């Protein structure tokens, strides 16, 4: 007889391990959903009619589910092997590391770290509600990197810090499935199906939600559920902040304490093609409703439909998420922090892939306008008329520079904006407008001025607030720290337990590349290497397979057009083209390129300094 099991995996990689483990026992009929904490409850509630025998989950999600069901809930453990893997990953990191978790996890980490002669402070908690307080205490003690469960990692990232998830390995999953088999036969059905606010307009085109003070959806009409992308039978009980972090700005303020009190003013914003109004609700009898939310598709109320497409809201980065301990990147972070504390506009210059968007988000997060919206406008993808309309508005609607919804506007690749728009922007900056302006460029301001690609009036507005970002080739010592974060994310996403990269791969492969695409290119190469790895470490074999995949992609792109060497121009220009072509053919390996050209690496390096800057 089949054992019907509902599994709630707090992270995607755990789903893969659960499905693989269940295939080893034909008696198990397993259905797996990926959800965490409050977002798991609607899945559990919707599945009550399926008569499951056991529910399987992990950590705080298991504890939360157990409070809402009467059937057995089995907890997927975190084993000593799991702890050993994550400690091996972070050992040697430049950042101060700590563990935040339930006492049994903290004790396990203490025992394993003691064996490794690796001292790691712990902050025990008894419930998920204590996570934020423990994080604040840890960060106050100088901790920069937090190990923990999904709720700990998500809370750390929401506060602007890096977190590494302690994942459960195959042996832990098999142990949990064995426990499921032992507990089979203790299945009870739980019935609870409540409807709130029946008087709301189920068939109205406008979406209507009733929400409590923590952001939990108590009721959603069909239009409201559809506009948010969920089925009406699932959305009740989900948390708006989990659906979109933007809601945290508008949900959570105290509502009137007494019945009959006058609610505060409504708050309006735009997101994902919707005009949204959040209205505070006065308490009604014993109801928990604190907000009414009304949603109407853009275009039905005469506002600028383009705003929603350019606002950045999903976990806007902070300075603590900028990885690396080199003097070059730390100097850039220090300069950016100083600029964020001012009201001045900021010009960020740096090659492609150096993290200009990341720095723009961090500057916005740390500024006084951090609670307002951040809008990223790509100058290369928008016409002059579109940019002008978005920034300055029209007769129909106000532009971003004249609306309270915008705290910071970032114009990427400002050199691609037209001269008339640049002059109008310079005029706006002279008047000290209410919205902060950040611009980015691929080349230094001085170079753009010499080429006539930037108006002198605009450049003068940023003369004391230019931020230069170093290319990766000038901070190769940061590669290992960047790799740790990429590995941790890959493990969480695919259910792997990769503990690191072999030193010879770092020294002979990763640190021998010029990285013209910088951190973005490094992450792409690392992902190919990790995809090829099935063991705990990325060795030379996996590295070579990863590079093979990268070369295949590059060659397919190259075969789509015929490469012809342009011999026009001066000798310096021809030499520059030859150097770049040889580097591309040698996968950007400077040692191989120098050998093929018959020059030493130092000579190649001198020639390439100006080349990479001009070509990026």
Question: By mean pLDDT, which of 57-66, 97-106, 248-257, 529-538 is the weakest?
Answer: 248-257
Whole-angstrom distance, CA of residue 290 vs CA of residue 239: 14
Between 369 and 311, where is the model more confident?
369
Strand 97-101 vs strand 145-148: parallel, antiparallel, or unpaired? Answer: parallel
Nearest-Å Rg of the Cα atoms of the chain is 27
Model pLDDT, residue 286 = 47
- Residue scoring higher pLDDT (63 or 299): 63
What are the C-alpha distances in Å from 399 to residues 303, 310, 347, 375, 386?
Answer: 10, 13, 21, 12, 11
Sign, Cα dihedral of 134, 139, 141, 147: positive
- Per-residue confidence (pLDDT) for residue 196, from 0 to 100: 41
Residue 137: CB atoms within 10 A of its CB come to: 13
Same domain, 413 and 463: yes
Within this chain, do residues 434 and 353 fall inside the same structural domain, yes or no? yes
Token digits for 616?
A: 């990026």
Q: Are strands 122-124 and 145-148 parallel, antiparallel or unpaired?
A: unpaired
The full length of the chain comes to 616
CA atoms within 13 A on the CB side of 174: 7
Q: Are residues 374 and 460 in the same domain?
A: yes
What gap in Å lies between CA 267 and CA 591, rounded to an integer? 59
Regarding whether 328 and 216 lie in a shared domain, the answer is: no
Question: CB 38: neighbour CB atoms within 10 A?
Answer: 19
Which of 7-16, 356-365, 585-594 has the weakest average pLDDT? 585-594
Angle at 135 between CA 131 and CA 141, to 5 degrees: 150
Indicate which CATH number applies to the domain containing 340: 3.40.50.300
Same domain, 333 and 293: no
Judge whether 28 lies within some domain.
yes
pLDDT at 189 over 80: no
Q: Which domain holds residue 251?
A: 203-299
370 and 489, same domain (yes or no): no
Position 257 scores a pLDDT of 43
Residues 6+ apart with CB under 8 A from 176: 56, 74, 75, 76, 77, 168
63: its two tokens: 């504890």
Residue 137 shares a structural domain with residue 179: no
What CATH number has the domain bearing residue 487? 1.10.8.60
What does the block give as tokens for 44? 């559990």
Q: How far apart are CA 344 and CA 426, in angstroms?
A: 13
Domain boundary among 247, 269, 299: 299
What are the structure tokens assigned to 403, written together? 């609306």
Contacts of 292 (CB under 8 A, 6+ apart): 208, 209, 210, 211, 278, 279, 281
Q: How many domains does the chain have?
A: 6
What is the three-class DSSP state of 351? Answer: coil
Q: Is residue 188 predicted with pLDDT exceeding 50?
A: no
| Cα–Cα distance for residue pair 530/486, rounded to 1 Å | 9
Q: Which residues contact 255 (CB under 8 A, 6 or more apart)?
A: 213, 263, 264, 280, 281, 282, 283, 290, 291
- CA 402 to CA 433: how far, in whole Å? 8
Taking the alpha carbons at both ends of the chain, their separation in whole angstroms is: 63
Q: Which of 322, 399, 320, 319 is CA-nearest to residue 367? A: 319
Q: Collect all residues with Cβ–Cβ distance below 8 Å to 129 and sequence separation of at least 6.
A: none
485-509: pLDDT as tens digits = 999 999 998 999 999 999 999 998 8
Which of 208, 231, 320 lies closest to 42 in space, CA to CA?
A: 231
Kindly state the greatest CA–CA separation across the chain. Answer: 85
Q: Where does the pLDDT of residue 526 fall: very low under 50, low under 70, confident under 90, or very high at 90 and above?
A: very high
User: Which percentage of the chain shows pLDDT scores above 90?
Assistant: 34
Say whether both 141 and 122 belong to one domain. Answer: yes
For 290, list phi and psi in degrees, rounded to 5.
-120, -15
| 304, pLDDT greater than 90 | no
pLDDT at 612: 56
- 422, 274: one domain: no
Domain match, 161 and 230 both: no
Over residues 177-194, the mean pLDDT reads 60
Rounded to 5 degrees, φ, ψ at 564 are -125, 130
Give the dihedral of Cα atoms 542, 545, 550, 553; nearest 10 deg.
-150
pLDDT in the model for residue 87: 87
Last residue within a domain, chosen from 119, 148, 183: 183
Q: Please determine, for residue 190, whether its predicted confidence score (pLDDT) is greater than 70.
A: no
Asked if residue 261 has pLDDT above 50, the reply is: no
pLDDT tens track for 565-613? 555 555 566 667 777 777 766 666 767 777 777 676 666 776 666 555 5
The lowest-confidence range among 42-46, 228-232, 404-408, 511-515 is 404-408
Say if residue 94 is in the same domain as residue 66.
Answer: no
What confidence tens digit (pLDDT) does each residue in 210-219 have? 898 888 998 8
pLDDT bracket for residue 118 (50, 70, 90): confident
CB-based contacts of 399, cutoff 8 Å, min separation 6: 304, 389, 390, 391, 392, 393
Within a domain: 2: yes
Render pLDDT for 444-487 as a digit per residue (tens, 0 to 9): 999 999 999 999 999 999 999 999 999 999 999 999 999 999 99
Domain edge (last residue) among 126, 149, 183: 183
| Residue 311 in domain | no
Asked whether the beta carbons of 425 and 437 are under 8 A apart, the reply is yes
Please state the separation of Cα 419 from the chain's center in Å.
34
List all residues 6 or more positions away from 602 whose beta carbon is below 8 Å from its beta carbon: none
Same domain, 241 and 352: no
Whole-model pTM? 0.61
Residues 265-282 pLDDT 10s: 567 676 666 778 888 876
On the question of pLDDT at 443 being above 80, the answer is yes
* Angstrom distance (rounded) from CA 9 to CA 178: 17
């Amino acid at each position: 007889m089949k054992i019907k099991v509902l599994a709630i995996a707090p992270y995607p990689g755990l789903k893969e391990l659960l499905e693989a483990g269940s295939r080893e026992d034909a008696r198990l009929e397993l259905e797996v959903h990926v959800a965490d904490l409050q977002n798991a409850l609607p899945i559990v509630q919707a599945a009550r009619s399926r008569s499951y025998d056991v529910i399987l989950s992990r950590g705080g999600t298991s504890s939360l589910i157990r409070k809402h069901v009467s059937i057995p809930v089995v907890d997927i453990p975190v084993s000593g092997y799991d702890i050993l893997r994550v400690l091996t990953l972070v050992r040697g990191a430049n950042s101060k590391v700590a563990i935040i978790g339930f006492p049994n996890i903290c004790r396990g980490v203490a025992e394993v770290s003691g064996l490794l002669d690796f001292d790691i402070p712990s902050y025990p908690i008894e419930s998920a509600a204590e996570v934020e307080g423990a994080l604040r205490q840890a960060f106050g003690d100088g901790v920069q990197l937090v190990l923990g469960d999904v709720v700990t990692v998500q809370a750390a990232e929401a506060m602007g810090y890096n977190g590494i998830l302690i994942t459960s390995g195959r042996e832990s999953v098999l142990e949990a499935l064995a426990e499921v088999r032992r507990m089979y036969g203790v299945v009870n059905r739980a019935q609870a199906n409540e409807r709130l606010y029946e008087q709301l307009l189920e068939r109205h085109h406008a979406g209507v939600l009733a929400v409590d003070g923590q952001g939990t959806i108590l009721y959603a009409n069909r239009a409201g559920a559809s506009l948010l992308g969920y089925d009406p039978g699932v959305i009740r009980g989900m948390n708006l902040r989990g659906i979109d972090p933007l809601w945290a700005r508008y949900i959570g303020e105290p509502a009137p304490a007494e019945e009959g009190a006058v609610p505060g003013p409504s708050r309006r914003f735009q997101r994902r093609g919707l005009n949204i109004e959040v209205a505070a609700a006065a308490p009604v009898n014993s109801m928990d409703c604190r907000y009414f939310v009304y949603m109407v598709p853009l275009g039905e109320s005469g506002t600028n439909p383009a705003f929603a497409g350019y606002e950045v809201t999903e976990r806007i980065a902070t300075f603590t998420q900028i990885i690396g301990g080199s003097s070059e990147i730390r100097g850039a972070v220090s300069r950016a922090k100083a600029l964020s504390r001012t009201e001045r506009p900021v010009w960020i210059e740096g090659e492609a892939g150096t993290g200009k968007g990341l720095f723009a988000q961090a500057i916005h997060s740390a500024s006084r306008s951090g609670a307002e919206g951040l809008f990223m406008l790509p100058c290369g993808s928008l016409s002059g008329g579109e940019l002008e309309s978005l920034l300055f508005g029209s007769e129909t609607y106000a532009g971003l520079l004249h609306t309270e919804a915008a705290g910071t506007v970032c114009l990427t690749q400002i050199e691609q904006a037209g001269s008339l728009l640049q002059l109008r922007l310079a005029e706006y900056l002279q008047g000290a407008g209410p919205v902060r302006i950040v611009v980015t460029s691929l080349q230094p301001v001085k170079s753009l001025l010499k080429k006539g690609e930037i108006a002198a009036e605009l450049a003068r507005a940023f003369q004391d607030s230019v931020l230069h970002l170093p290319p990766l080739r000038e901070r190769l010592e940061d590669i290992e720290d960047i790799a740790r974060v990429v590995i941790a994310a890959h493990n969480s996403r695919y259910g792997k337990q990769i503990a690191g990269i072999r030193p010879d791969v770092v020294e002979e492969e990763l640190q021998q590349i010029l990285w013209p695409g910088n951190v973005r290119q490094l992450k792409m190469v690392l992902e190919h290497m990790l995809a090829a790895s099935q063991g705990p470490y990325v060795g030379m074999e996996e590295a070579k397979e990863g590079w093979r995949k990268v070369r295949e992609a590059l060659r397919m792109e190259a075969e789509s057009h015929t490469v012809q060497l342009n011999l026009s121009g001066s000798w310096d220009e021809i030499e520059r083209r030859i150097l770049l072509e040889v580097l591309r053919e040698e996968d950007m390996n400077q040692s191989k390129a120098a050998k093929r050209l018959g020059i030493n690496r130092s000579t190649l390096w001198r020639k390439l300094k100006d080349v990479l800057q001009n070509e990026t």
